[in-house]
């Protein structure tokens, strides 16, 4: 009994950490520790920058990276995934905080966490493959543009009390504040950005460029007492120690209003984490468990808000850095979280001296690297449908929000897909041997009795192509006594197509004509059988091959010829 329960649990919940620890040795542990420390150092400035850009306090980003990073690595479905706050969430989180407040952001994140766990338990991890690539390029690049504009304020040192979340009001605020540019801030931000951009890749393994920019920027500001805004001047510093457990107050009214933003967080979290895991698979020649990954992402987002954290997901850049640093197991991700915790416990007071200009420069480079700009330069190589999905999703992400962009983008993609599949469905007259048909289903013209017409149906018979069945009688020069539909190439069928087929049969019966179905596949066969269509046309009129269809047609013609007319 207990064993069967454990087996059942293992089917739904088996972290990759369990598999990774098999045959684990000291050498692998050493490389994982080194990789974890490296990624932990890389994650520090990013966690702070993402939190500040999202409208949260800097410690929220660090605590999220620690707690969510630990849970995602310990319980996730990827060997090398690094979790934490990411740039993709900046725009969404900022908008939620501005509209609903920080307390409701925490509730949104918890709700999104439960949604992600449910998606994992319902084995929905593979649904990511149904998101077309142009849609992902469009909203990813749109988010990158929004991040870039959100950093203009701190990059230029503009004096703006509250930067609007919506794109056009944000542009207006930035434009009106241009006379308040702090040129010292601009110089520091520009130097930091150039350092990160042109930093030699060969040096990045030893000293990551964001860390070097952060250290140098902080040192320069402290040494020359530059008049620029810092973490200390805006937030008062970062607390030294662990966050306290502070559950947000849950109310039914709040839950009802926060379902939509929670779904946005869950959707983006699922896409981002599974994309990151897929990138990691390609780098280490492995295959992640997408359902387990969703469960871990969900648990991380359920737990983190109780410590004041923001939404977390798999981070592509940090995961790639983890792999390049030699990571072989989830131990590196756990070490990454512990490294961040150690830094907070030891060096938190120093963080108040970090200039916001340097953090904005780091985020600016992150956003530039995040956008998939090459997709726009190759638009002319794409089908019109793909270009439309990409451009529309990009514009809607920038102008409205991610939820609208994904919904409309998916609708457009589905519309074009239906149109494309519909164009592949054909109903053609097939009363003679054709080279396009196989020998089993083709028949010489002289073998077809007079009054019998054969049509070949090819493709998927669904609502988008069902009307093609109505053209059958229109294509016939003479009204057939027996109509044979060769259905061995019909791969699927829906109720709309069945309705059209019943309508066609009704027209034939009204004129005392007959319908024979030849070789329907399993799914169409089952649908027609369940709907009782075979009983209406007669089970003897459903045959396996063209020879049997012609034999049945001759029988029907003989019966008709013997029937007296009064």
pLDDT for 436 equals: 42
The SS3 call for residue 64 is helix
Question: Hey, how many other C-beta atoms are within 10 angstroms of the C-beta on 378?
Answer: 10
Alpha carbons 385 and 210: distance in angstroms, whole number: 39
pTM score > 0.85 for this model? no
Closest CA to 41 of 209, 232, 193: 209
The SS3 call for residue 458 is strand
Q: Which helix H or strand E contains 535, and what residues bound it?
A: helix 533-537
pLDDT for 12 equals: 72
Strand bridging mode 426-429 / 313-314: unpaired
Q: What is the pLDDT of residues 382-420, one digit of tens each?
A: 888 999 999 999 999 999 888 889 889 999 999 999 888
End-to-end C-alpha distance for the chain, whole angstroms:
76
pLDDT for 257 equals: 86
Q: Which helix H or strand E contains 392, and what residues bound it?
A: helix 384-399
Sign (positive/negative) of CA torsion 403, 407, 413, 416? negative
Q: What residues in the chain have per-residue pLDDT under 70?
A: 1-11, 431-446, 475-478, 559-566
Closest CA to 470 of 435, 443, 440, 496: 496
Contact at 8 Å (CB) between 211 and 345?
no
Angle at 372 between CA 368 and CA 375, to 5 degrees: 140
Closest CA to 457 of 502, 510, 538, 519: 519
Closest CA to 121 of 272, 13, 278, 266: 13
**Nearest 10 degrees: Cα torsion 547, 550, 554, 557:** 160
Buried b (16+ CB within 10 A) or exposed e, 438-447: eeebbbeeee
Q: Residue 485 corresponds to which tokens in the numbers above?
A: 């539909």
Alpha carbons 273 and 276: distance in angstroms, whole number: 5
134: CB partners within 8 A, 6+ apart: 375, 382, 386, 387, 389, 390, 393, 409, 413
Which domains does the chain carry?
Answer: 27-157+169-398 (no CATH), 426-562 (3.30.750.24)
């Amino acid at each position: 009994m207990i064993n069967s329960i454990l087996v059942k649990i293992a089917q739904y919940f088996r972290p990759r950490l369990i598999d990774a620890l098999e045959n684990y040795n000291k050498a692998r542990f050493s490389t994982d520790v080194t990789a974890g420390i490296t990624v932990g150092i890389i994650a520090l400035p990013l966690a702070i920058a993402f939190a500040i850009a999202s409208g949260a306090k800097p410690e929220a980003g660090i605590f999220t990276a620690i707690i969510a990073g630990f849970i995602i690595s310990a319980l996730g479905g990827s060997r090398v995934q690094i979790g934490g706050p990411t740039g993709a969430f900046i725009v969404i989180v900022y908008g939620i905080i501005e509209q609903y407040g920080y307390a409701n952001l925490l509730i949104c994140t918890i709700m999104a966490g439960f949604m992600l766990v449910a998606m994992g338990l319902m084995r929905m991890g593979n649904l990511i493959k149904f998101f077309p690539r142009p849609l992902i390029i469009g909203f990813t690049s749109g988010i990158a543009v929004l991040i870039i504009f959100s950093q203009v304020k701190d990059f230029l040192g503009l004096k703006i009390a509250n930067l609007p979340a919506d794109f056009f009001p944000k542009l207006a605020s930035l434009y009106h504040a241009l006379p308040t540019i702090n040129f010292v801030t601009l110089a520091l931000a520009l130097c930091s950005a150039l350092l990160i951009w042109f930093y030699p890749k060969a040096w990045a393994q030893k000293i990551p460029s964001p860390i070097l920019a952060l250290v140098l920027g902080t040192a320069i500001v402290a040494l020359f007492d530059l008049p620029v805004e810092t973490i200390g001047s805006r937030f008062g510093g970062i607390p030294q120690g662990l966050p306290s457990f502070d559950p947000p107050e849950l109310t039914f009214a709040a839950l009802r209003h926060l379902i939509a933003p929670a779904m946005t967080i869950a959707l983006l979290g699922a896409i981002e984490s599974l994309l990151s895991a897929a990138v990691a698979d390609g780098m280490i020649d492995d295959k992640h468990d997408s359902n387990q990954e969703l469960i871990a992402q969900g648990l991380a987002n359920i737990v983190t808000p109780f410590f004041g954290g923001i939404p977390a997901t798999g981070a592509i850049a940090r995961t790639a850095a983890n792999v390049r640093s030699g990571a072989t197991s989830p131990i590196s991700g756990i070490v990454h979280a512990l490294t961040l915790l150690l830094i907070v416990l030891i060096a938190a007071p120093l963080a108040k001296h970090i200039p916001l200009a340097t953090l904005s420069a780091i985020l600016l480079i992150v956003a530039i690297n995040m956008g998939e700009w090459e997709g726009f330069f190759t638009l002319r190589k794409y089908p019109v449908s793909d270009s439309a999905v990409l451009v529309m999703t990009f514009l809607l992400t920038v102008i409205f929000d991610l939820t609208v962009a994904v919904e409309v983008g998916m609708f457009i993609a589905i519309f074009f897909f239906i149109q494309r599949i519909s164009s592949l469905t054909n109903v053609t007259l097939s009363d003679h041997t054709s080279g396009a048909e196989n020998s089993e289903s083709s028949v010489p013209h002289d073998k077809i009795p007079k009054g019998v017409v054969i049509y070949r149906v090819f493709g998927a018979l669904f609502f988008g192509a069902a009307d093609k069945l109505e053209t059958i009688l229109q294509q016939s020069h003479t009204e057939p006594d027996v109509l044979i539909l060769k259905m061995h190439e019909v791969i699927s069928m829906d109720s709309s197509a069945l309705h059209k087929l019943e309508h066609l049969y009704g027209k034939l019966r009204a004129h005392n004509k007959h319908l024979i179905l030849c070789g329907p596949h399993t799914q169409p066969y089952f649908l027609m059988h369940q709907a009782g269509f075979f009983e209406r046309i007669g089970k003897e009129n459903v045959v396996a091959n063209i020879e049997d269809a012609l034999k049945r047609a001759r029988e029907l013609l003989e019966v008709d010829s013997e029937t007296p007319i009064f």
